Amino acid sequence: MQPTPCRSEILTIGNEIITGLVADTNSGVITRRLETLGISVKRHVSVGDDADEIIDALKQALERVDCVILTGGLGPTHDDITKQVLCRFFNSKLVTDAKVRRRIDLIFQSRGKETPEAAYTQAEVPEKATILHNSKGTAPGLLFEKNGKRVYSLPGVPHEAEHLLETYIVPHLEKPGTLKTEHRILKTTGMPESILWQEIGPVAPFEEHVKVASLPSLLGVRIRFTATGKDLKETSAKLDAAEKLLRRKIDHHIFAVDDETLEGNLGEWLKKNKKTLAIAESCTGGLIGHRLTNISGSSDYFLEGAVTYSNEAKQNRLGVDPALIETHGAVSEPVAKAMAEGIRQKSGSDFGLAVTGIAGPTGGSPEKPVGLTFIAVTGAQGTRCEQFRFHQDRIRNKERAAQAALNLLRLYLLNES
């Protein structure tokens, strides 16, 4: 007989969450991790910095579930009230924890600073709580247990919350024999959702192994597989079978899996094959270079990026023939090709990538509407150029153009392979 799975809720605390000034990423991270343990997360609830509202939300949650995980409100400022509220809820007083106080001193000493008096308030902890010592920050986590139920309180800083989750909560809650759940996300780009699924075909063959979700976004469609099994070996086998089946259908559209990124995988290919890249950007304004250089070690393969926004820059920096611009316009296939070939020649790179387009909302015409974009990539096998029509606002058009450019480079490199 399978053990009864733990039921849980996540309660995020803070006015900044309620007002939308800060996005709640903790709930998603915690939920995904708990699901791998077979732990069901029933609700995500957000509450502002109001003691009565927090207590009411906590009472309601404990009536429904076995475990509540709170994030936020453990800092040293006036609006961090979670500890005081938990003391009130569990009828506890605050006491100073010497280990936490020493940890706070060590953190400030490592920064070459005196410990501010306000920081020591984080060493004041509820007497009835178990302290979850935090090696990633100054605020410890807290655990309360009552009537067979658990309340965890974690800092709101995402990397601290995730650290305490892995260090304390996962070992506490994982039960031997409980069915495990695992997800895998395969990321595609360059194809609308309806056409993509037309290529994939019926979902039934996949559901012999996994549950399937289609998650469209601005930059592509993510396909999420969810597998359940007695252990992670079984779930991984199911995910592998589903992925193999999907790749038979649309492998050329898949650019990454799970936490992989398009720019990261491109960088791995370039580094492995000892190849270099240079880019010339117009309408994207450096966004492609920004994404490429987000990858540690990109200096091994990324030689340079030129933002040649004006016609003069295209001519002077890249050597684009003025007659091409005069005849075809800056936003055209011949100019995009000349930009890619120019940056490759000037930099001495193995590959050149270029983009030129009309981001909008102004600058369009009946012949060349807003969103029209030409992207070119060049290398030893010649120059390839594609035309795109994006139809969003300026920022989204730039983001989609950068994504399309990196994907065109990916497809070019696949042929190179």
* pLDDT tens string 146-197: 999 999 999 999 999 999 999 999 998 877 767 888 899 999 999 999 999 9
Answer yes or no: are the C-beta atoms of 188 and 173 closer than 8 Å.
no
Answer yes or no: are the C-beta atoms of 132 and 140 closer than 8 Å.
yes
Q: How many helices (H) and strands (E) does the chain have?
A: 16, 17
Residue 99 DSSP SS3: helix
Q: What does the pLDDT read at residue 1?
A: 39
Overall domain count for the chain? 3
Asked whether residue 11 falls in the same domain as residue 147, the answer is yes
Distances (CA, A) of 10 to 32, 86, 328: 12, 15, 57
DSSP code per residue over 292-343? HHTSTTGGGTEEEEEE--SHHHHHHHH---HHHHHHH-SSSHHHHHHHHHHH
Asked whether residue 160 falls in the same domain as residue 196, the answer is no
Q: What does the pLDDT read at residue 4?
A: 54
In a domain? residue 346: yes
Q: What does the pLDDT read at residue 175?
A: 76
Asked whether residue 327 falls in the same domain as residue 383, the answer is yes
In a domain? residue 1: no
Domain-ending residue, one of 150, 173, 196: 173
Distance CA 91, CA 74 (A): 18
Q: What does the pLDDT read at residue 134?
A: 94
Asked whether residue 397 falls in the same domain as residue 278, the answer is yes
Domain-ending residue, one of 173, 191, 209: 173
State the CATH number of the domain containing residue 48. 3.40.980.10
In a domain? residue 326: yes
* pLDDT tens string 93-122: 999 999 999 999 999 999 899 999 988 999
List strand residue ranges (DSSP E) for 107-253, in order.
Answer: 124-126, 130-132, 141-146, 149-154, 180-188, 211-217, 220-229
For residue 397, give both structure tokens: 């058009």
DSSP 165: I
Q: What does the pLDDT read at residue 128?
A: 96
Q: What does the pLDDT read at residue 275?
A: 98
State the CATH number of the domain containing residue 374. 3.90.950.20
186 contacts: CB under 8 Å, gap ≥ 6 = 222, 223, 225, 243, 246, 254, 256, 257
Q: What does the pLDDT read at residue 124?
A: 95
Q: pLDDT digit of tens for each residue in the chain (417 aa)? A: 344 568 899 999 999 999 999 999 999 999 999 988 888 899 999 999 999 999 999 999 999 999 999 999 998 888 899 999 999 999 999 999 999 999 999 999 998 999 999 889 999 999 999 999 999 999 999 999 999 999 999 999 999 999 999 999 999 887 776 788 889 999 999 999 999 999 999 999 999 999 999 999 999 999 999 999 988 899 999 999 999 999 999 999 999 999 999 999 999 999 999 999 999 999 999 999 999 999 999 999 999 999 999 999 999 999 999 999 999 999 999 999 999 999 999 999 999 999 999 999 999 999 999 999 999 999 999 999 999 999 889 999 999 999 999 999 999 999 887
In a domain? residue 2: no
Asked whether residue 273 falls in the same domain as residue 299, the answer is yes
pTM over 0.75: yes
In a domain? residue 162: yes
Domain-ending residue, one of 156, 173, 190: 173
* Residue numbers of the domain that contains 307: 262-416
Q: What does the pLDDT read at residue 2?
A: 46
